[in-house]
Structure formats: structure tokens, C-alpha cells
Amino acid sequence: MLTKILYIIIDSIGIIIILFTIRAIMGIKAEYGKWLKYTLGASILAIASNILIACSADPMLAEIAYCFYFSSINWIIYCLTGFCLLYTEHRTEFNILRIPGGCIMAADALSIFANLLLHHHFTIYEKTVGGVVFYQTAFRPVYYIHLTIDYIYIIVALLFIISRIVNSYDLYRMKYVIILSVLLFVIALNIAYMALSLVLDASVVFYAVAGMLIYFCTEIFVPRKLMNSSVSRAVDDMNEGLIIFDISNNCIYTNAFCEYRFGITASTCDITRDPIASVLKDLEASGRNFGETSYIDRSGAEVAHYKIKYTSLLDRRARSIGSYFLLQDTTEEVHYMEEIQRSRIAADKANEAKSTFLANMSHEIRTPLNAILGMNEMIIRTTQNPEIAEYADNIQDSGKTLLSLINDILDFSKIEAGRMEVTESEYEPLQLIRDCYYFFEQTAGVKDLYLHFNFDEKIPMKLYGDPLHIRQILTNIISNAIKYTKEGGVTVNVFYNNTGSNRIELITEVSDTGMGIEKEDIPHLFESFKRVNESENAAIQGTGLGLSITKQLVELMNGRITVDSAPGEGSSFKVMIPQTVTDHTDSGKLILLHKKEEAVYKESFHAPDAKILIVDDVKLNLKVACALLRKTRIKTETALSGDAAIQMCMTTKYDAILLDHRMPIKDGIETFGEISSKGMNTDTPVIMLTANAVNGIEEEYKKIGFAGYLSKPIDISSLENMLKDILPIAKVLP
Ligand code: ADP
């Protein structure tokens, strides 16, 4: 009885082992995994039938259990042969044998179950061992046909494995040998059971062990062994050094790289020697016991750079069990970075040179332009001849276009060099928009275009941002709208969005009724030097720089610009710029006083008692300035150099001084320094009147102490406005 119970327990354990093995096999992607799974499934049936045989109290039940047992052996062998064919890469043979083999096995299984009626395979008899009844089988001749079929299958499987063993080598031969051994062992147990007429077939339990062994061999042992040998080969071949230390800092491994580069091997490597020693020192100094550091090896003919990574090896409970160092040669990378650095410096220098060149070019063009426009202004003021007045007007237009071109190029180069900066200050948006209106009122009027400005009166009174750049952006867009519109006019809507307690987005929408822009041209509008619709625009002056500068300025202030346009219908440009609110009071209504167009120049004030000094090394510039101011009746004295001006300032008190910057021997800044430190004009307001128009220069002059800044060519109204502000009030007459 005990034998039966023990047998049932062992068989049940076998089933559990098989179930666990099947679970593990689920992870095998190759098709042979599926066939191994089927084999183990049939094994479960065989073991379960054996348990039933052991438990049977009735010969009929035992016979049914035996039928299940013999036919499940069929399927074990069939699936195992399938596994062997697939595992030994005999797919063609597998495909040929699968269906006929399956049919033969199915017929054989049917014939076994027919034994219940015909008793042509075996008969059941009782055998009593130690007082316990066992049911055994007495075989009939037909049973041996079944046995032959099974053995033919087994032999086929064995032959394929043996052929593979012959053709393969090393690790792969070993994996086939293991499978062969497992199969032979199962066969041996089965033969022993039959030869010795044992009461129960102990070999079935071995199916579980065999399944596990095959799984272990195919999926764990062979891949691991292969991985270990390839990893150690790869580590030896890799272009990085690897040094491993045990817990007592004994070196246990160095790869070929270490020997080749540093001449160290596992037996000669020492933690107190370089490069290890300096890495550890570095890391200790930084308070870390792992990490990365750089190491320079100067021992060879050429200096070599390394990046060394030090890592502690920890066990599962995070206890240190050793450490390893990875040495990576970064010499090329370091040289590359040095090269990039050198190129960057060279590029910066080239950029610097370009900017200087552009600044000089701008200066040099402005100087003669000052004379051209100044003298032309005098012609406009004095001529009575309408034909000459028209010529002079044309000169003035072209001169102004040339000037705006120079300004655009200067801005563009500054943006390109990444040197355009946002200069923030408090300003009143209402004032800014009003100025824009007055700036364009006349231009729009000349073209017979309407110019409508709608300003949301709830816009906060004071904002903090960059008013100069905002003005430049609006000027560019509004001037384009006027430039590219023949009929109708331009509408400017100014409103805002609240984006935070002290933040708003100031939105300006400029819409025109002009020629519009083709849809496919819109994405290219903001490209530098890009003009679209060239055939229609040929007669309109432009460089294609305005919108590119505008977009970059908007982005510099973290804003956005969008365009909506249809050919023949007009365009709408929308600019959104985030601003900080400094005074939440409403701005109020935008009241625009429509000025009468002043075709003829009229001086804005008179100051016959005021005396000013004008300093410039170019005689013509002095002549222009004096001529332009003549109508104001200001007394003007001139000096052709810094030294001459200083001399004059020692003896004469002036109400204001207009000083040029670039002068030989003593420039404007040096001259200003001397005038304001000695003589009679230490408090006199000095205006820098220069052809230097580089962006941001005004702030620099003001920081030095200049009372104002004006760029050449002289804009007479700006000059008059500035003088009106700084001359003593008593001397300024209407
Ligand atoms: P440009 O100096 O040529 O005016 P911009 O960069 O300011 O250069 O503009 C680029 C091109 O975009 C212009 O050449 C023009 O074809 C087109 N454009 C700009 N604004 C308008 C507009 N309001 N209506 C129609 N076309 C416009």
C-alpha cells in the first residue's frame, strides 16, 4: 500500500514540475518551444494515467487507464520527434513528416482504444505484491506493432540529433549531446520497465525531469555559456579598458586594452598606482566614492586623455563586493572640442570684424549723406522754382531710403551676431501708438490712403518693456502696409489680453486693403532678403530685410507674429508681445489731432540770445549744421577739432555744445571729458551729434554723461526739439 501512495505522491510532484516547466517554456519564441510544450502536455496525460492505474480497484478501469497511458506515450514520442527536428533545424523534414506521422499516431491511438472491445493489444491480469493488488498487462502480438511505430519515431529523432552532433562543434555539440543523453535515459527506463515486468512504470516521472533538463539546456545553459564566452571576448576586444578589483582591492581582471595602453595586467595592477590612484584621489577630493573623472596620461610620446568611470560592485543587500574601472580614450574627442573652440573663436573674430566693418561703413556713408541731405534741405527751404523743388524732394526721398537701408543692415548684422539686446524701461503705450500715428499720417496722406487707429482705452497706462523695439516693429509693419497699398487704407487696432496679475499681451493688428500676398509666399515672408510678388513690387523700393528683422525682434521679446492675407484683398499682420504692467490705470482714449501737412519748413522756436558751439572735423558738416539752424537765429560758433573746442570752452560760456564722436587726435569722448572737467563749460549740456548709429550706442553716450544723442544725417526737427529742451528757458522764444 505504502508503495502505491509513495508512487502517487512522486507522480503528482512530477506533474507539478511539468506545469512549472511549461510556464517557463511559454517564454520561448522559437517554434520548437511549442512542440516541447506539447510533449510535456502529453507527459502530464501519461503520468495522470499512471496514477489512475495505481489507484484502480477494478480491471476495467485499469484497462481504460492503460489505453490512455499507451496512447499518450504515442503523442509524447510524436511531439518529441517534432521538437528534435525543429531544434536541429530540420524544418523541411519536419514539414514532410508532420501530417503522415500524425495520422499514423492517431490510427495507432484508435487501435489502442479498440482494445477495450477487441483485446488485441493486451489483456489485464492481477498481480499481488505484499498483499496489495496491482493490475498489469499481458501483451498480444499487435501491441508490438504499436511499439515498433514508437521506436521508429524515437530512432528518427535520435538519428537527427546524432547527425547534428556530428556536424556541430563546441558548445552546440554539447547541447545536442545533453538532449541525446536525456532521451536515451528515458528509453532505458522504459525498456527496464518492460523487461523486468515491473508493477508500475517509474520512467514516467522522468518525463518531468527530462522536460526540465531540456528546458535548462536549450534556454539557460547554452545561451549563458555562449554569452559568458562572447562577453569575455568582447571585453577583451573593446576599445575601452576594464579593471576589476575584489573587496580587498586585489586586482582580479584587466582586459587587453589596459595591457596595451598602460602595460598593466591583473597580476601587476595595483590600486596605489596610476591611473587608478589619481582617479580615486580625484573622487575622494570631490567627496564621492564612485563617478567619473578625467585623466591625462603624459607618459607616452603623445599626451592621451581618458575618461575613467569608477563603480562599486554591490550584492543584493547593497554590500560592497568589489569595484571596477572603465577607461575610455577621449583624446580624439578632446582634440575635436579644442578644434571647435578654436573655430568658434575664429568665427567670433570674423563676426566682430564684420560688425566693425558694417559700423564703419555706416559711419562713412552717413557722413556724406549728412551733407547731401543737409544741403538739399537748404535748397528745399530757399528755392522758389517748383521744378528745382521737385528735384530736391526726389533727392530727399532717395536719401531717406538709403538711410533706412543702412539702418536695416546694421540691425540685421547685430541680430545675426546675437548681440541685439532687449532694453527694458517703463513707457506709456498710448504715447507710443500716438507717435506711430503722427509718424505715418503724412506718408499715408500723400498716397491718399486713410489711416485709422483704434486703441482699447482699457490698456494699462504704464507698461514695462522695450518701447524702442516695439516702435521699430510697428514702424516696419505699418510702413509696409502703406507701401504695398494703392487704394483704400490702413487700420491699426491695438488691444490686449490679460495673462497674469501683472502681465498682459499687447496685441497690435495692422490691416491694409493692398495687393495682398499669395498663400504659398506667406511662409517665406520672414526670410532675410526675401521679397515676394517681385513682378508687381519691382517699382516699390525694398530690401526684403524689414520683416525678417521684425520677426526676430518680436521673438527676442518672447512675442509672436502672424500673417493673414489674400491676393487683391489685403493683408493683416498681428503682433503679440508680453509686457509687464506697472500702472493698472486705464490709458484712456486715443485722441489724434490731425496736423495740417506742412509742405514748407517752419522753425519751431527762436533763440537769438543763445550761443552754441558745434564741433566736427568735416567742414561741410559744420556748414550744414549752421545752415539748418540759421532760421532759429541761434548764435553758432564752430571748431574743427577737439583741441580747438577745448580752447574755445576755456574762454567762452556756451548754452549747448554739439560734438562729433570720431575726430582725429582727440575724439568726441576725450574732448567731452576735458570740457566738463575744466574751463567755463563744465555744466554745459553736450549733445553727441555723430554718424555712429550702432544699436544701443545712445545708452552708452548717456552713461558717459552726454545730455543727448542725435545721429547723422541730421533730422532738423529732432535737433530743434532737443535744443528747445536743453537751452535755458529764458532764451527760447516762440
Ligand atoms: P521690403 O523691404 O521688400 O518691404 P520686407 O521684409 O519688409 O521687405 O517685406 C518682404 C516682402 O513681403 C515684401 O517685399 C512684400 O512683397 C511683402 N509684404 C510685406 N508686407 C506686405 C503687405 N502689407 N502687403 C503686401 N505685401 C507685403
**CATH code of residue 283:** 3.30.450.20
Residue of the CA atom closest to atom 16 of ligand 1: 532
The answer to whether residues 187 and 244 belong to one domain is no
Distance from the alpha carbon of residue 42 to the mean position of ligand 1, in angstroms: 82
Predicted confidence at residue 260, as pLDDT, reads 83
Give the Å distance between the CA of 519 and the centre of ligand 1: 14
Query: In the predicted model, what is the mean pLDDT of the chain?
Result: 86
Cβ–ligand 1 distance for 512 under 6 Å, the answer: yes
Tell whether 36 and 172 lie within a shared domain.
yes
- Among 414, 438, 462, the domain boundary falls at 414
Instruction: Determine the Cα–Cα distance for residues 150 and 654; give it in Å rounded to an integer.
Output: 126
Mark whether 201 and 56 lie in a shared domain: yes
Clarify whether residues 94 and 176 are in a common domain.
yes
Provide the pLDDT for residue 381.
83
Domain assignment present for residue 592? The answer is no
Per-residue pLDDT at 374 exceeds 60: yes
Ligand 1 centre distance from Cα of residue 432 (Å): 23
Residue 514, ligand 1, Cβ within 6 A: yes
Q: Is the pLDDT reported for residue 449 higher than 60?
A: yes
- The DSSP element (H or E) to which 305 belongs, if any, is strand 304-314
Residue 452 is assigned to a structural domain of this protein: yes
* Residue-level pLDDT at 553: 92
Distance, in Å, from the CA atom of 172 to the CA atom of 155, rounded to the nearest integer, reads 21
Q: Please tell me the predicted confidence (pLDDT) of residue 452.
A: 95
Q: Is 628 exposed, middle or buried (0-12, 13-18, 19+ CB in 10 A)?
A: buried
Does ligand 1 have an atom closer than 6 angstroms to the CB of 214?
no
- Looking at residues 45-50, what average pLDDT do you find? 90
Q: Which of 440, 479, 531 to mutate to test the pocket of ligand 1 (most atoms within 8 A of CB)?
A: 531
Chosen domain end from 380, 395, 414: 414
Q: Indicate the DSSP class of residue 597.
A: P
The tens digit of pLDDT for each residue in 99-108 reads 999 999 999 9
Sheet containing 635-639: order of strands: 635-639, 611-615, 656-659, 686-690, 708-711
Report the atom number in ligand 1 closest to the C-alpha of 534. 16
Q: Across residues 565-590, what is the average pLDDT? A: 94
Highest mean pLDDT among 254-263, 485-494, 689-698 belongs to 485-494
Q: Whose CA is nearest to atom 25 of ligand 1?
A: 516
Regarding the beta carbon of 102 and ligand 1, being less than 6 Å apart is answered: no
Residues 401 and 433 reside in one and the same domain: no
Say yes or no: 255 and 210 in one domain: no
Q: Which of 411, 412, 480 to mutate to test the pocket of ligand 1 (most atoms within 8 A of CB)?
A: 480
Together in a domain, 269 and 356: no
Task: Spell out the residues 6+ positions from residue 55 whose beta carbon is closer than 8 angstroms to its own.
Answer: 4, 8
On whether residue 598 sits in a domain, the answer given is: no
The residue nearest atom 13 of ligand 1, judged by CA position, is 531
Whether 176 is covered by a domain: the verdict is: yes
Residue 570's DSSP bridge partners are: 566
Question: CATH number for the domain including 463?
Answer: 3.30.565.10
What is the count of structural domains for the chain?
Answer: 5
Measured in Å, residue 485 CA sits from the centre of ligand 1 at: 11
Looking at residue 409, its pLDDT comes to 81
Q: Which atom of ligand 1 is closest in space to residue 530's alpha carbon?
A: 10
Lookup: cell for 639: 571748431
What's the 268 CA to ligand 1 centre distance in angstroms? 75
Return the pLDDT at 188. 86
Domain end, chosen from 229, 263, 298, is at: 229
Residue 604 lies in a domain: no
Give yes or no: residues 429 and 395 share one domain: no
Give the CATH number for residue 105.
1.20.1070.10
> What pLDDT, on a 0 to 100 scale, did the predictor assign at position 638?
94
Q: Answer whether 694's CB lies under 8 Å from 667's CB.
A: no
Q: What is the pLDDT of residues 197-223, one digit of tens each?
A: 766 676 777 777 777 887 887 778 878
Q: Does some domain include residue 593?
A: no
182-197 pLDDT tens trace: 888 888 887 887 787 7
Confidence of residue 594 (pLDDT cuts 50, 70, 90): low
What residue numbers bound the domain in which 107 lies? 2-229
More confident residue, 405 or 46: 46
Query: What is the average per-residue pLDDT within 149-169?
Result: 88
Distance 471 CA to ligand 1 centre (A): 18
Q: By three-state DSSP, how is residue 352 classified? A: helix
Same domain as 553, residue 665: no
Cβ–ligand 1 contact at 517 (below 6 Å): yes
**What tens digit of pLDDT does each residue of 600-611 get?**
678 889 989 999
472 CA from centroid of ligand 1 (Å): 15
pLDDT, position 514: 92
CATH of the domain at 670: 3.40.50.2300
Residues 499 and 545 in one domain: yes
Cα–ligand 1 centroid distance for 480 (angstroms): 6
pLDDT band at 506 (very low <50, low <70, confident <90, very high): very high
User: Is 338 a member of any domain?
Assistant: no
Q: Which of 400, 479, 484 to mutate to test the pocket of ligand 1 (most atoms within 8 A of CB)?
A: 484
Q: What is the pLDDT of residues 243-290, one digit of tens each?
A: 888 888 788 888 888 888 888 888 887 777 777 777 777 766 666 666
Backbone angles phi, psi at 733, to 5 degrees: -110, 155
**Cβ of 537 below 6 Å from ligand 1:** yes
Closest ligand 1 atom, CA of 531? 14
Q: Which pLDDT score is estimated for 523?
A: 87
SS3 642: helix
pLDDT in tens, 307-365: 888 887 888 887 878 888 888 889 999 999 999 999 999 988 888 888 788 878 888 88
Is residue 178 included in any domain, yes or no?
yes
Q: Which pTM does this prediction carry?
A: 0.53
How far is ligand 1, taken at its centre, from the CA of residue 579, in Å? 27
Query: Do 516 and 664 share a structural domain?
Result: no
Distance 547 CA to ligand 1 centre (A): 7
Residues 252 and 354 in one domain: no
pLDDT above 80 (res 396): yes
pLDDT band at 675 (very low <50, low <70, confident <90, very high): very high
Interval between CA 465 and ligand 1 midpoint (Å) = 26
Please say if the pLDDT value at position 597 is more than 60: no
pLDDT of residue 56: 86
For residue 398, the domain's CATH number is 1.10.287.130
Confirm if 460 and 491 have CB atoms less than 8 A apart: no
Residue nearest to atom 19 of ligand 1 (CA): 480
